[in-house]
Amino acid sequence: MSGNIELLNTTLAAAKAADRAALIAYLPAGFPTVDGGVEAVKAVVAGGADVVEVGLPHSDPVLDGPVIQTADDIALRGGVRIADVMRTVREAYEATGVPILVMTYWNPIDRYGVERFTAELAEAGGAGCILPDLPVQESALWREHADKHGLATVFVVAPSSQDARLATITAAGSGFVYAASLMGVTGTRASVGAQAQDLVGRTRATTDLPVCVGLGVSNAAQAAEVAGFADGVIVGSAFVKAMLDAPDEAAGLAAVRSLAGELAEGVRKR
């Protein structure tokens, strides 16, 4: 079975045709439970998310701040495994029909086996992977198998990336480019910052891929600001925090659906 890179491409193209940015939501698999994680994906899509990133919980998440680290710890203590991540992707895709990507660090894939991981992700209906710590120059094996199985390879660029480096990264990627709005880890912030707009402009000069901005967006006003210059707005910590702060799972699901609705409205006010 082929993966859903084309669904990702058409979803992002449809948002552009509607003169708006796409809303991309991040939620970790296994949080608060595996079943609860699937329901959370359904909730953000019901609220208006166009694309979902399912996080593969990791014990050393170098890009993630304390909020996502807390959720990852809950998932890991609950015994989440890669099979549960694949199940989350499958059930979320079957229930929503939107592109579902996995965001993961490289070590779990390397240990699991690249061919096995890509084949299972494609079979589950996944659209691709975001790989924040995989150097482009070491990514040939991954890209070979991802291409074979119809999966996008999304790399992360940062404000510190020089123009020549940006060109190397974007030439190797597919689906979209993940532009980190600032140097640092994930988390909600009072301001997204001018660095993000500059990075999007420099990245666009090297590629026709959509450029989507993550790190720091937590409310409709910030989503609207980023949507003014990016092709997609990526929100993770704000959704996870809404789940963590809720008194119970039902309230958490209601909170993330409501937040997704506010953010979806924000990306339409670019």
Pairwise CA distance, residues 203 & 153, whole Å: 16
Burial class (CB in 10 A: 0-12, 13-18, 19+), 70: middle
State the DSSP H helix or E strand holding residue 170, giving kind and residue range, or none if neither.
helix 163-172
In sign, the C-alpha dihedral spanning 38, 44, 50, 53 is negative
State the DSSP H helix or E strand holding residue 233, giving kind and residue range, or none if neither.
strand 232-235
Which residues participate in catalysis according to the annotation?
53, 64
Amino acid at 5: I
